[in-house]
Amino acid sequence: MKVETSAALLALLGVAAARPDAVKLFRKTRPAVGASAKFRREVPQEHSHNKFLTGVGEALNLNNVDQVQDPVFALLGNAAAAQGAGLVQDLDCLQQRVADQAFTNAKAANDVDGMANALIFRALERNTGSVGLASALCESETAKNPEIAALQQHQDPASDGAAALNKQITLDLAVQLASVGADPQLALQSGTFAPGEIGDQTGAGNTCDTEDDAEGCIFSQNLLVEDATADEIDAAVASAGGNANAGNANNADDSADDACEDDGAADNNNNAGAANNGTASNSNNNANAGNANGGATSTAGVNVNAFTGSVGSAPVPVVSSTADKPFSVNGAQFLNQGAAIQRACDVQKNACANAANSGADASISVSDCDAQQQQCVAQNAKKRRAAADTGDCGSPAISFGQQQDRGDEDAFAPVNTADFNHGSALKPAVITDFICSQLASKCGAADATVSQCEEGAQAANSLQGQAAADAFNAALGV
């Protein structure tokens, strides 16, 4: 890419049309950027993937905490990006920050399409000053969402090692798309152009930059060079423990788990396949759907799900076996019991929400389904674990309520401040992550204890108040 020397007014895209073979695009028009948007900008491809710019812009605008003027600035070089970066200081991290906040907003709305747009946007190539020049990576901060943190942007296809690197980025993206219930094959659409010629004085390479092309000129002009094959996408997702058919209504019960499923952390994906994403009322309640029509499926083996509640749907069995991944939920296999329990509780919640939304059971509401999901997680946590071996430290328990350092506001804090010296926090993850870190480093606790801690932390993160504290403490037997 090459710097364009003429100043230009950035005309931003309005409404984008959805296509059946792509992520559903947000309908709201991206806000126009004011006259201050005149800048010396880099070309030529910040508008090449316009449909994803539109989608991530809508998600970002739900809560634009950094006041970024428009996602397109994140695809420009730093000099141009500074004109619309809002409160973001490290411009090398602007693209990650935009994607991370958009993902957070979409996740809060249980919007699979919004999360998919954010993931794909994070992987798009960013403009640089010349053909063959790679863009700088974000090194000063880590994304809050692990799905975003697992990704980086594509690099100029003429840069050193770009072919292998961009292929790996696409495969990593596919895994993350599957983890939120989106179609992993969409990762191929994050690809870039054919390599340009090093030394090209025009800097244009083989690119395009059509601002009023709603789909994106890389698609409409057939300029996209896919980094991998469909089979390679499927293989990457399968090797990460996910399902290559995520996003398909007929395969929603196998929606991919987090790429790091095997690390002992409980699966906390609140997403589903495409079966229920057509309306806002449904998309707000998808939680790893068991299947297109309901929750539990018949199983054989030992069911270790301790929850017996049946509001709107029967409990979903968690089958324990002697397999390498010993826990199974509707055919999806898990190494860790906590991850399997989380999936079962989420599947039941989704089936319950379907019943509430469809009117099949007029006596229940979606809030009843949410409450039941929390009860499911908490009840399973309470039944497990003897007291964990915490090495050189004492009890890792946490409390919820009024804390000495926080007035009248209820918060979470370690009970044992001698070994786990940390101030209170409004979110359990702040405290639980600290305790797990201390167990692994300062306390010298066994790996099994650290895994229990991480599992308890994930369970607590899906709950609120005392229920969150109980789930964490139960996982560690305290």
pLDDT of 71 strictly over 60: yes
Residue 2 pairs in a beta bridge with 43
Residues 319 and 439 in one domain: no
Residues 341 and 423 in one domain: no
Is residue 390 situated within a structural domain? no
More confident residue, 338 or 283: 338
Q: Residue 95's pLDDT is what?
A: 96
Of 80-84, 151-155, 293-297, 313-317, the least confident? 293-297
Confidence of residue 21 (pLDDT cuts 50, 70, 90): very low
Residues 211 and 128 in one domain: yes
Q: Residue 452's pLDDT is what?
A: 84
- Do 469 and 412 meet the contact criterion of CB atoms below 8 Å apart? yes
pLDDT of 4 strictly over 80: no
Residues 158 and 256 in one domain: no
% of the chain at pLDDT higher than 70: 74
Q: Residue 409's pLDDT is what?
A: 85
Is residue 393 situated within a structural domain? no
**In this structure, what token pair is assigned to residue 342?**
């989380």
More confident residue, 46 or 310: 310
pLDDT digits (tens, 9 = 90+) for 252-295: 333 333 333 333 333 333 333 333 333 333 333 333 333 333 45
Q: Residue 379's pLDDT is what?
A: 78
pLDDT digits (tens, 9 = 90+) for 234-251: 988 887 765 555 554 333
Domain count, the chain: 3
Q: Residue 266's pLDDT is what?
A: 36
pLDDT of 80 strictly over 60: yes
Q: Which of 382, 412, 432 is the last residue of a domain?
A: 382
Residues 207 and 356 in one domain: no
Report how far residue 271's alpha carbon sits from residue 331's, in angstroms, rounded to the nearest whole number.
17
Bond preceding residue 414 cis, omega within 30 of 0: no
Residues 37 and 152 in one domain: yes
Residues 19 and 109 in one domain: yes
pLDDT of 37 strictly over 80: no
Highest mean pLDDT among 151-160, 278-287, 453-462: 151-160
Q: Residue 88's pLDDT is what?
A: 94
Is residue 433 situated within a structural domain? yes
Report how far residue 351's alpha carbon sits from residue 132's, in angstroms, rounded to the nearest whole number.
50
Residues 116 and 190 in one domain: yes
Residues 203 and 328 in one domain: no
User: What ranges make up the beta strands (E) of 152-264?
Assistant: none
Q: Residue 36's pLDDT is what?
A: 34
Confidence of residue 229 (pLDDT cuts 50, 70, 90): very high
- Do 352 and 364 meet the contact criterion of CB atoms below 8 Å apart? yes
Q: Which of 236, 261, 284 is the last residue of a domain?
A: 236
Residues 24 and 173 in one domain: yes
Mean pLDDT for 196-222 is: 77
Residue 334 pairs in a beta bridge with 327
- Amino acid letter at 376? C
Residues 173 and 24 in one domain: yes
Q: First CA to last CA across the chain, in angstroms?
A: 58
Tally of CB atoms within 10 A around 401: 13
- Grouping H, G, I as helix, E, B as strand and the rest as coil, residue 462 is coil
Q: Residue 45's pLDDT is what?
A: 67
- Grouping H, G, I as helix, E, B as strand and the rest as coil, residue 464 is coil
Q: Which domain holds residue 355?
A: 247-382
Report how far residue 294's alpha carbon sits from residue 74's, in angstroms, rounded to the nearest whole number.
41
| Cβ-based neighbours of 105, under 8 Å, separated by 6 or more | 59, 60, 62, 63, 114
Is residue 252 situated within a structural domain? yes
Of 29-33, 117-121, 460-464, the least confident? 29-33
- Grouping H, G, I as helix, E, B as strand and the rest as coil, residue 61 is coil
Average pLDDT of the residues of the chain? 76
For the chain, the residue count is 478
% of the chain at pLDDT higher than 90: 29
Q: Residue 47's pLDDT is what?
A: 83
pLDDT of 342 strictly over 70: yes
Q: Residue 174's pLDDT is what?
A: 93
Q: Which of 348, 382, 416 is the last residue of a domain?
A: 382
Tally of CB atoms within 10 A around 94: 26
Highest mean pLDDT among 112-121, 276-285, 332-341, 351-360: 112-121
Residues 231 and 251 in one domain: no
